[in-house]
Structure 1
Amino acid sequence: MTEDRGARLGALALGALGVVYGDIGTSPLYTIKTAIEWSGGALAPAEALGMFSLIVWTLIIITSIKYVAVIMRADNDGEGGILALMSLLGVKHGRRPVVIAIGMLGAALLFGDGAITPAISVLSALEGLKTPAPAIAPYVAPLSVLVLIGLFSFQSQGTARISKLFGPVMTLWFIIIGALGLGGVAKHPEVLWALKPAIGLDYLAAHGMAGFLLLGAVFLCATGAEALYADMGHFGRRPIRLAWYGLVLPALVLNYAGQTALLVDRPVSASANPFFDLCPPALQLPLVALATLATVIASQSIITGAFSMTRQAIQLGLLPRVHIVQTSEESYGQIYVGFVNWALMALTLILTISFRSSEHLAAAFGIAVSLTMLLTSILMFMAMREVWRWRLVVSLAMAGLFVLIDGSFVAANMAKFFEGGWIPLATAAILYFLMSCWAEGYADMRAALERDTLPIPSFIAQFRGKPRVKGTAVYMSSRSDVVPVPLLHNLKHNKVLHERIVLLHVETEQMPRVDPSLRVESTALEDDFFAMTIHYGFMEQPDVPRALLLETPAVPFRFNMMETSFFVGRLTIVPIGLSKWRIFKLRIYQFLHRNALPATEFFQIPPGRVVELGGQVEI
């Protein structure tokens, strides 16, 4: 039994290497290279050692302590990520608009990261071709575009088969970059003295504002840390921690140490690429191929993470419904969201063509991730107090340290605002605005519908004994204690009631998944009226017909889908007496609502069994 648990733990850790650590694992490709470029290529040996010290302690404090040791404890029934944390704190512990706003902003920033990561990763890998073949330099950006087009075009096919190679490939990657770093350290073992935090602090003290601004480049070493938390639900804490402490962290530290040893050994120019310079010339082309494959894997993880976050946001009521395709029968997390995929591809290609090099794109990269980490630290303080019940002094001390460090990285990255840093902020602002329009408009719509209806008992009493037509009518409703507006419209215009009427409400719980035995909840009302609620987690894709056909005591009668009609409303908003700003936001909501995936398709209801009834709602 112990051997089985150990084998499973090892398999999950291997899987985590392929999915979780792609982003942070490929950061050695561009972190020190960007630092050299931002410093004008004038890194003296003492400066290189100071930078290496800052990189190591950023990995230790931000990744090892903040994420791996502390914040991974703040799970929402096993799921992680800023939206799961927002759901835990902003809904389960009382619905709080400020917490929800923080989660929405963090999610918007991560969508921007989803476009930047593939661009900077693939560019940095293919830039390795400049070392063995300098003549290829003008073609790096076009080659990157081709690789990225292929990557995004493949998404609709799913990654269930090739994802099994992700873990072994990334394991090989970490072993090789660790070995390359070890070779560099063997030539100059004195670089290991820079593991002392005092070396990094001395560097900051001696270089003033220039040293502080270099933190923007140093931060790139930890840009994938948020993925550790976001992907926790796929593998669990223990496998992620085992992979980090057992392989990833030692390999990263060794590689950064080896690159630093190279800088200490000889002067460098702003165009230097110390990662590839660590490799013997004869092996540089194979290393470029492996680096390109590793960056594709890193990009794949970010893209699939954006798909998963889209589904979470839809289930939490933050985004309109979009078409989601399940690409694997075995892995629930393997999905494809076409609109998100093509939007990310368009933005990624624009960034690649516009910036044309990884060091130029790095200015845009750090701002989005550092801001997300700062928001996560703020929510973490709330988790310490409300979930873990830590004392105020302890919570303030630990969360305050993380907020201070994250805030420093944000400030350092903001210095590059006009050099591309504005792009992820503008993208996040647009997404945040759209999410707020949708959330507010949806809430206004529900309130207006509930205002214009009447209680179920009064309705049943009013129409008791009236003639009915054969069959079952299912009315989709946000509440089961009031009459759905489509039912009122059907009665008003068609003058009919079915012999069985089901008031169906689909509830998204503040947990990732719901036990199938608790999927359906029903109450038999009077006169063949039934109130039913189907429960799903925010990581699940609803399938209403499948839930209604479950043979459980919770389903009050056997559904015959050929005799069942589903009634839904297609409503238009009519603003009354609102400010111009509120009217504008409602128009945006109406546009999103009009172009959203129909509820029947999202809930997988057969189109031949659907009746849509239009109407107007005054808000």
Structure 2
Amino acid sequence: MNSPSKSPAVTTAGLLISLGIIYGDIGTSPLYVMKAIVGDAQISETLVYGGISCVFWTLTLQTTVKYVLLTLQADNNGEGGVFSLYTLIRRRAAWLIVPAMVGGAALLADGIITPPISISSAIEGLRILYPDIPTVPIVLAILTALFTMQSFGTEVVGKTFGPVMLLWFTMLGVLGGLSVVQHPEVIQALNPSYAYQLLTNYPNGFWLLGAVFLCTTGAEALYSDLGHCGRPNIRVSWAFVKICLLLNYLGQGAWLMTQEGQQLTGNPFYQLMPGWFLLVGIAIATIAAIIASQALISGSFTLISEAIRLNLWPRVRLVYPTNLKGQLYIPSINWLLWLGCVGVVLYFRESEHMEAAYGLAITMAMFSTTLLMAYYLYARYKSGLLAAAFGAIYLAIEAAFLVANLSKFPHGGWVSLLIGFLLLSVMYIWISAFYIKRSLTEYVRLKHYLPALQELSADESVPKYTTHLVFMTSAPDHKKLESKVIYSIFQKRPKRADIYWFIHVETTDAPHTAEYKVRHIAEGDVIRIDFRLGFRVEQRINLFFRKVVEELVENGEVDITSRYPSLNRQQLIGDFRFVVLEKYLSVENDLPFKKRVIMQWYFNLKDFAASETKWFGLDTSSVKVEKVPLLISPVKLPDLKRIPV
């Protein structure tokens, strides 16, 4: 298991970046948390003080202790997130893939719910000045613009995220602080006894945990974005962020107490703003909500790219809009998220209705992280007591939140669970099909075919197929090769070449590994190259292969000039041709029901995935794609009896 890497030192730039990237989701929660806690109930001290107390202790126990202090320790060479945590321990227990899949699907579902609720909450502030303004078209327009700009990269916009979020948090702290100064007695709400009274004595108080939970929904994203800023920058900036958040919650509570005995009308967040500042405040809130949405969209792209490397998601097209590290755009996921966000806005229309769908899925993600983290603590520190204590405490806390959030199910919570279930189904189908295919792939020992390969290469009676023939192989053992590759070379159409190249790509648990190994299986005739690439490294095999060949030529290890005498005298380089074997489901299969359904859905999903050629970045002008049947379980033929003519 990898040890936690050494994190970069705290810098001003790092702190600004962490403000812009890490805290978008959790930083915009004051827009809707207190409004969700109070709801339609009569404003009272027990409700307001108890709600603030619950928020404070949730941020302290869940965000500060669990994530900022403990979980950030579990980094995979500087990278965080549920899949990075899973890669640290996956070789120790096969069942760990289940919480990893659940956590990943829940985070993606969160990426569909968060942008609509954040942007809607900000835009609805305009109703204070313009009561009849239609907010839904404005929200849809902002979301559409946001998703459209993803294809251009966010390098320019990203540079402004930090300063804008610094302004946002400063505004939160100042507005809340001014309100607290006028009503300093609200500070006593931090006493945990108020939380206890709310949960035990207030009518249906326990179920308010579903609204309280909204204050910490961004904690999981905080861990996922560890690689962008480093642990020290996140921890230092969190101290500032938490103070600003608490001041704003306390300020909203102070204002709410001036309305004691009444029902809430409007959003207490905007009630803290003086009239002359309202438009400016709404504009800043909207920009902050857009930044929060951007961070979740970028996080979803990273999550999917990691899932692909772990064989948990179809190999969809990845685009790198700029040369900036971490800049990634996945068109299919981008428009899937856009469609989901638009659907959420059109279905719920109001942010207060979206609150019903929000929180349930992310609770499952936190559950998953707790299970994985408990196992990580056990594996790393060899302490069952430490792992059990961590697991028991946080599973109990998150179970309480989950039960409270389940009350949201009939009011819209089913939407987030449905989205999460669909995403989880895709992951389950893809990984199941991967294991089914791998278990039935037939390998042969390469040494048995070396003499035949060398003879074919020298047999001038067979028309030369290409000078350099390159196959992608999934065989992890360099001494073996898929039987389908041998069939393609010798039987489908004899493929004579001067040199046969076999390329294998291994995805490592470390995120940024970029290594290769060359084996001369038969000197001058058969060469194998093994690439070891991190799960966050783009697999541009065409470029990598070219670079390796150039280095081999420089070192005098291989001669790539054509072996035709007339061309060899002119030192002309021979041509390279890749052969890619794409499997299809043979009609001659007799599968058990479960496997049949999995494989049918696998091939249905495969239609939307990138081809092997595009995925490995191969030059399509020099690629031959051959279809080979995937015969999983042959149909049992009846006994045929020959009869005389």
Report the TM-score range of the alignment, normalised by the length of the smaller protein.
Answer: over 0.9
Moved more, 151-160 or 40-49: 40-49
Q: 1:276 aligns with which of 258, 270, 284?
A: 270
Partners of 1:387 and 1:7 in 2: CA distance = 24
Question: Which residue in 2 is equivalent to 1:402?
Answer: 394
**Where does residue 557 of structure 1 map in the other structure?**
558
Q: Decide which structure has greater helix share.
A: 1
What displacement does 1:562 show?
6.1
Letter in 1 for 2:196: L
The secondary structure found in structure 1 opposite 2:418 is: helix
Q: Give the AA of the match of 1:74.
A: A
C-alpha distance in 2 between matches for 1:213 and 1:356: 24
1:319 to 2:313 alignment = yes
Separation (CA, whole Å) in 1 of partners of 2:146 and 2:622: 38
Deviation for aligned residue 1:483: 2.6
Structure 1: any 5+ residue segments left out of the alignment?
Answer: none
8 A contact 1:85–1:379 mirrored in 2: yes
98, 121, 126: which one aligns with 2:118: 121
Cα deviation code 1:175-211 (max 9, x no counterpart): 0110000011011111111111122112212126x11
**Counterpart in the other structure of 1:173:** 168
Query: Which residue of structure 1 aligns with residue 618 of structure 2?
Result: 605
Paired residues of 2:113 and 2:341 also in contact (CA < 8 A): yes
Q: Which residue is 1:482 aligned to?
A: 480
Q: How many residues align?
A: 599
Query: 1:522, CA displacement in angstroms?
Result: 1.5
Partner of 2:600: 587
Q: Confirm whether residue 566 of structure 1 aligns to residue 561 of structure 2.
A: no
- Provide, for residues 261-310 of structure 1, a one-character-per-residue CA deviation record: whole Å limited to 9, x for no partner: 01111234343310000000111111001100000000000001101111
Unaligned runs of 5+ in 2: 1-6, 562-572, 633-645
- Residue 427 of structure 1: aligned partner: 419
**1:363 Cα deviation (Å)?**
1.5
Counterpart AA for 2:315: R
What SS is found at the alignment partner of 1:271?
A: coil
> What's the CA shift for 1:141?
1.6
Residues 608 and 378 (structure 1), Cα distance of their counterparts in 2 relative to 1, 3 Å cut: same
Per-residue CA distance 1:508-551 (angstroms, 9 max, x = gap): 1011111x4xx211211125211211111111111112222145
Residue 558 of structure 1: how far off its partner (Å):
6.6
Residue 52 in structure 1 maps to residue 52 in structure 2: yes
Q: Is the alpha carbon distance of 1:262 and 1:558 closer, same or farther for their aligned partners in structure 2, counting shifts above 3 Å?
A: farther
Report the counterpart of residue 502 of structure 1 in structure 2. 501
Q: CA shift at 1:43, angstroms?
A: 2.5
Q: What residue is the counterpart of 1:367 in the other structure? A: 360
SS in 1 for 2:155: coil
Spell out the pairing of 1:382-401 with structure 2 (5 A cutoff).
382-389=375-382, 391-401=383-393
Is the contact between residue 16 and residue 167 of structure 1 (CA under 8 Å) also seen in structure 2?
yes
Pick one of 238, 251, 258 that aligns with 2:244: 251
8 Å contact 1:178–1:255 — kept in the other structure?
yes
Helix, strand or coil at the partner of 1:317: coil
Decide whether aligned partners of structure 1 residues 594 and 497 sit closer, same or farther in structure 2, where only a CA change above 3 A counts.
farther
1:298-353 CA-to-partner distances (Å, cap 9, x unmatched) read 00000011011111111111111111110121x22111110001010011011011
**1:545 corresponding residue in structure 2:** 542
Aligned to 1:204: 199
1:228-271 Cα shifts (integer Å, max 9, x gaps): 110001111001111101x1000000000000001111234343
Cα distance, 1:142 vs. partner?
1.7
CA RMSD of aligned residues (A): 1.9
Moved more, 593-602 or 102-111: 593-602
Partner of 1:521: 517
Q: Secondary structure of the residue that 2:583 maps to in structure 1?
A: strand
Q: Which letter maps to 2:44?
A: A
Does the 8 A contact of 2:356 with 2:413 survive in 1?
yes
Partner of 1:459: 449
Q: Tell me, yes or no, if the aligned pair for 1:132 and 1:281 is still in contact at 8 Å.
A: no
Distance 2:85 2:10 in 1: 27
Question: How far apart, in 1, do the equivalents of 2:415 and 2:28 lie?
Answer: 22
Mapped contact 1:543–1:604 kept (Cα < 8 A): yes
TM-score by length of 1: 0.93
- Relative distance call for 1:411 and 1:359 in structure 2 (3 A) is same
- Alignment pair present for 1:85 and 2:85: yes
User: Is contact 1:475–1:487 with CA below 8 Å preserved after alignment?
Assistant: no
Tell me the equivalent position of 1:75. Answer: 75
| Aligned residue in 1 for 2:637 | none
In 2: Cα distance, 1:557 partner to 1:185 partner:
75
Shift of 1:8: 6.1
2-structure distance, mates of 1:497, 1:6 = 53
Preserved contact between residue 115 and residue 290 of structure 2 (Cα < 8 Å)? yes
**Amino acid of the residue matched to residue 14 of structure 2?**
L
Q: Which amino acid aligns with 1:305?
A: G
Query: Match for residue 21 of structure 1?
Result: 23
> 1:284 corresponds to which letter in structure 2?
L
How far 1:446 moved relative to its partner?
A: 2.6
1:307 paired residue among 301, 321, 324:
301
The DSSP-based 3-state class of the residue aligned with 2:589 is: coil
- 1:427-484 deviations in whole A, cap 9, x for unaligned? 11111111111112122223322x2x42101111344433353511110010133233
Q: Quick one: distance in 2 between partners of 1:393 and 1:265? A: 48
Distance in 1 (alpha carbons) for counterparts of 2:393 and 2:444? 53
Is 1:500–1:529's contact at 8 Å kept on the other side of the alignment?
A: yes
Distance 2:130 2:381 in 1: 55
Q: Is the partner of 1:498 in helix, strand or coil?
A: coil
Q: Structure 1: how far apart are the matches of 2:601 and 2:339?
A: 22
Preserved contact between residue 501 and residue 529 of structure 1 (Cα < 8 Å):
yes
- Which residue does 2:37 correspond to in 1? 35
Please give the residue correspondences for 1:283-302 in structure 2 after superposition, counting only pairs within 5 Å.
Answer: 283-302=277-296
The letter of the residue matching 2:332 is: F
Judge conservation of contact 2:9–2:233 (CA < 8 Å) in 1. no
Contact 2:470 2:578 in 1 (8 A): yes
* Cα distance in 2 for residues equivalent to 1:557 and 1:193: 77
Cα separation, 2, equivalents of 1:394 and 1:338 = 43
Secondary structure at the residue paired with 1:483? strand
Q: Answer yes or no: is the 8 Å Cα contact 1:113–1:368 preserved in 2.
A: yes
Change (3 A) 1:228 1:388: farther
Once the two structures are TM-superposed, the CA of residue 7 in structure 1 deviates from its matched residue by 9.0
Q: Take 2:574 and 2:252, find their aligned partners in 1: how far apart are those partners?
A: 68
Matched residue type, 2:11? L
Distance 2:558 2:445 in 1: 24
Q: 1:352 maps to which residue?
A: 345
Are 1:446 and 2:438 matched, yes or no?
yes
**TM-score normalised per structure 2:** 0.90
Would you say the 8 A contact 1:15–1:166 is kept in 2? yes
Report the secondary structure of 1:364's partner residue. coil
CA–CA separation in structure 1 for the residues paired with 2:132 and 2:415: 31
SS in 2 for 1:577: coil
User: How many Å separate the matches in 2 of 1:73 and 1:371?
Assistant: 21
AA of the residue aligned to 1:498: A
Whole-angstrom distance in 2 between the partners of 1:604 and 1:584: 31
Q: Secondary structure at the match of 1:154?
A: helix
Cα distance in 1 between the residues matched to 2:358 and 2:71: 23
Q: Take 2:558 and 2:165, find their aligned partners in 1: how far apart are those partners?
A: 52
* 1:63-115 CA distance string (max 9 Å, x none): 11000000000111111100111111113xx3x33211211111111111111
- 2:46–2:202 Cα contact (<8 Å) kept: no
Q: Hey, what does 2:182 align to over in structure 1? A: 187
Alignment match of 2:97 (pick from 100, 104, 118): 100
Q: Is the 8 A contact 2:83 2:104 kept in 1?
A: yes
For 2:638, the equivalent position in structure 1 comes to: none
